[in-house]
Amino acid sequence: MEVKIGVQHAPREIVLESGQSAEEVERVVAEALAGKSQLLTLVDEHGRKVLVPADRLAYVELGEPAPRKVGFGAL
């Protein structure tokens, strides 16, 4: 699933493909915003961790990945 994270005072958003379910990502974000943890920690499909301070979160957008187009085709 595609996850977009907006960070306060950062010009770009963080975009990652996560193997976690939408419910699991939502639970982790809710825990970070509730103050249960100081960091929002997510793992992408390649096993890399993304750590964002919970107090700097602007928004988190969850969505399905868009299919990637390969090759030359008529539009």
**12-61 tens-digit pLDDT:** 999 999 888 889 999 999 999 998 989 999 999 899 999 999 999 999 99
CB-CB contact of 28 with 40 (8 Å): yes
pTM: 0.78
**Tokens coding 4:** 């977009």
Q: What is the dihedral of CA 63, 15, 21, 56, to 10 degrees?
A: -110
Whole-number pLDDT of residue 61:
94
pLDDT for 68 beyond 80: no
**Tokens coding 51:** 């750590």
Dist. CA 68–CA 52, nearest whole Å: 27
